[in-house]
Amino acid sequence: MRVVNVADLKNRLSQYLREVREGEEILVRDRNVPIAKIVPLFRTGEVDAETEALVAAGKLRPAERRATRAFWREFWSMPAPRVSIKRMVEAIVADREED
């Protein structure tokens, strides 16, 4: 586990978040007093019960690949889908009626 002070965390936040994405845990201290812990939301291969239930229900698909910078560049360069307001409202109403 990595230990950092608040000032260092503020100065290098991107670097520390990159480390968290890679699985590192970071203990944050304010004047050498521990105040917070930053941990990865999901460990490699670790999925919570709610996510498993959504996958089982067919409402969520597991990621096929890791979201790298290249992935996000490709994603944001794609054209936005064009859906009419009428079709969007119909889809929302239909989804609410399923529950």
In this structure, the answer to whether residues 28 and 55 fall within a common structural domain is no
pLDDT in tens, 42-67: 665 667 788 888 888 988 887 777 77
Cβ atoms of 42 and 23 within 8 Å: the answer is no
Give whichever of 30-44, 65-79, 83-97 has the largest mean pLDDT.
83-97
**Residue-number span of the structural domain to which 14 is assigned:** 2-38
In this structure, the answer to whether residues 32 and 61 fall within a common structural domain is no
Residue 8: its pLDDT value, please? 95
In this structure, the answer to whether residues 27 and 63 fall within a common structural domain is no
Residue 29: inside a domain:
yes
Residue 77: inside a domain:
yes
Question: DSSP 3-state helix, strand, coil percentages of the chain (rounded to 5)?
Answer: 45, 15, 40
> What is the side-by-side strand order in the sheet with 33-38?
2-5, 26-30, 33-38
CA distance 10 to 13: 5
